[in-house]
Amino acid sequence: MRFYNLLLIFILINLFIIEHADAQIKAVNDKGEKIIVYPDGSWEYDPEEKKQDEEEKGEQLETPESYDTQNSNPNVPKKTNVKNNEPPKYTIAEMKAARTEITKWYQTAKKDATSLSREEDKKNYELNKYQNEIELQRKRGNFPKTPTDEDTYLAKVKMMKKEISSIKKGRKSAQKKEKRYKKMLTTTMDGMMASYTKEKEKLANEDLVAKGEKENKNWLSNPLNFKKEPKTEEEKAAEAKAQYEKELANIQKKKEEILEGKIAIAQKRSQSLEKYETEHTYPLSTYACDMAFEEIDVFSGQNKKGTKRAIWFTNSTPAYMSASNGGDYLVCNSFISQIDNKNYLLILDIVVNNKNARRDYGGIQKGAKMVVKLLDGNYITMKATNSSSGEVNAAKDFTTFKVAYNISKQNRKAILKTKASKVIIHWEGGYQEYHIYDMDFLKNQIECILTN
């Protein structure tokens, strides 16, 4: 039995050897590659391993179509096959550099847009504040204080608006760039790279144009050294101030030209009137120092005295002189009154030969000024102590205005030193100037009061 079992095992072993005599053996060479060894000693690479290598080589590693722009890691492309075995248009390094630079552009544009927007709001606030302050001062009667204040105000507003317009232009440009760069970052890789290339060319051209304009400007201003150093903040401020002063000077020049034209017209119109006024003169008065009254006021108990009335000045128009055969349109009779030996009043009775004089002149308000020009070139100012709207005599067609002006001690001293040549009265309708024909009138009246 034991012999039978051994024989059976021997037969089975021989059959197994005979069956696998031509079988191949898989092995690994010294390079770590899988090979198949045949009984005759020959070998070859494992076909399955070779097929796997070819499949790995056929996979697309770097293509713009497979680049995932939404991936948090832009360096990891999708695994897709290259069509027709075409090589990728861009490398990972190129795409990464482009995306990094576009991101910088976007961040810079966004920062500039925000900064310029805040600056624009700040400048608009400053402009509105300045305009509101001026309007408030205007309502209070504190502006303008000098003839040039209005021109200065307008020139400053113009400069501020020009600055705001420049900032607004820069802000819109920055916002457009911000939007464009954001779109470039969210598009496909092909689109991003194409836009990136065009943008670089555009920026390069802009730099060249800016550089060329700067060099040309510097050359024109300084041909011997057109590579001038950039201007400091002090130089820029000085240039802005010079530009502002230039515009202000132009405005002032135009205003002076307009004023000169108006003066020329006024002088031409007054020539004919002066001709009539010079022909219609009165001889110097033969004034005699006679007091009209001297009494005690029953109400105040103060001493009052006054001189006799006399004509101080007259005025007329060519049309009225022609119609009235040389008559005066306006006649002012005056006298001086002294109260309590210290207060002096100049009383005017102004008669206008027109019952509608209120329409032309208005009236004289309390506190209204009267200015007297002296021959020594000085002026004295008196203020009305009462108001007068005029008393109308419709039957005889004339209107009388009665008003008193206070003569201060300083003005009395000035009157006693010289003569008076002109008087300017402030009516409600405006200022009127009159020539004085009895230039010693005020001096004689005051001396008469002092000697009595």
Joined together, the tokens standing for residue 257 give 């030209």
Q: In this structure, are 317 and 433 located in the same domain?
A: yes
Q: How far apart are CA 205 and CA 199, in angstroms?
A: 10
Q: In this structure, are 188 and 310 located in the same domain?
A: no
Question: Which of residues 288 and 279 earns the better pLDDT score?
Answer: 288
pLDDT digits 0-9 by tens, 354-382 = 888 888 888 999 999 999 998 888 899 99
Query: Average model confidence (pLDDT) for the chain?
Result: 76
Burial of 8 (0-12, 13-18, 19+ CB in 10 A): exposed
Indicate whether 33 belongs to any domain.
Answer: no
Q: In this structure, are 175 and 309 located in the same domain?
A: no
337: β partners: 306, 345
pLDDT digits 0-9 by tens, 139-172 = 888 888 877 788 888 888 888 998 999 999 999 9
Q: How far apart are CA 360 and CA 427, in angstroms?
A: 10
Q: In this structure, are 330 and 202 located in the same domain?
A: no
pLDDT digits 0-9 by tens, 421-443 = 899 999 988 888 888 878 888 98
Q: In this structure, are 184 and 295 located in the same domain?
A: no
Indicate whether 233 belongs to any domain.
Answer: no
Indicate whether 32 belongs to any domain.
Answer: no
Of 120-124, 254-258, 289-293, where does mean pLDDT reach its minimum? 254-258
Give me the pLDDT at residue 66, please.
38
Q: In this structure, are 309 and 420 located in the same domain?
A: yes
Q: In this structure, are 329 and 441 located in the same domain?
A: yes
- Mean pLDDT along residues 19-35: 59
Q: In this structure, are 297 and 438 located in the same domain?
A: yes
pLDDT at 1 over 60: no
Can you give the pTM of this predicted structure?
A: 0.39
Domain boundary among 154, 180, 211: 211
Indicate whether 63 belongs to any domain.
Answer: no
Indicate whether 139 belongs to any domain.
Answer: yes
Domain boundary among 161, 188, 211: 211
Q: In this structure, are 204 and 331 located in the same domain?
A: no
User: Which of the residue ranges 197-201, 226-230, 299-303 has the most confident prediction, judged by mean pLDDT?
Assistant: 197-201
Q: In this structure, are 305 and 172 located in the same domain?
A: no
Secondary structure class of 269 (helix, strand, coil):
helix
Indicate whether 431 belongs to any domain.
Answer: yes
Domain that holds residue 168: 92-211
What's phi and psi for 206, nearest 5 deg? -60, -40
219 — pLDDT class (breaks 50, 70, 90): very low
Indicate whether 364 belongs to any domain.
Answer: yes
400 — pLDDT class (breaks 50, 70, 90): very high
pLDDT digits 0-9 by tens, 316-327 = 777 777 666 667
305: β partners: 294, 338
Give me the pLDDT at residue 216, please.
54
68 — pLDDT class (breaks 50, 70, 90): very low
Pairing of strands 343-352, 291-296: unpaired
Give me the pLDDT at residue 91, please.
78
pLDDT at 84 over 80: no
Q: In this structure, are 299 and 439 located in the same domain?
A: yes
Indicate whether 417 belongs to any domain.
Answer: yes
Number of domains, the chain: 2
Assign residue 419 the CATH number of its domain. Answer: 2.60.40
Q: How far apart are CA 303 and CA 297, in angstroms?
A: 6
CB 291 within 8 A of CB 245: no
Domain boundary among 155, 181, 211: 211
pLDDT at 78 over 70: no
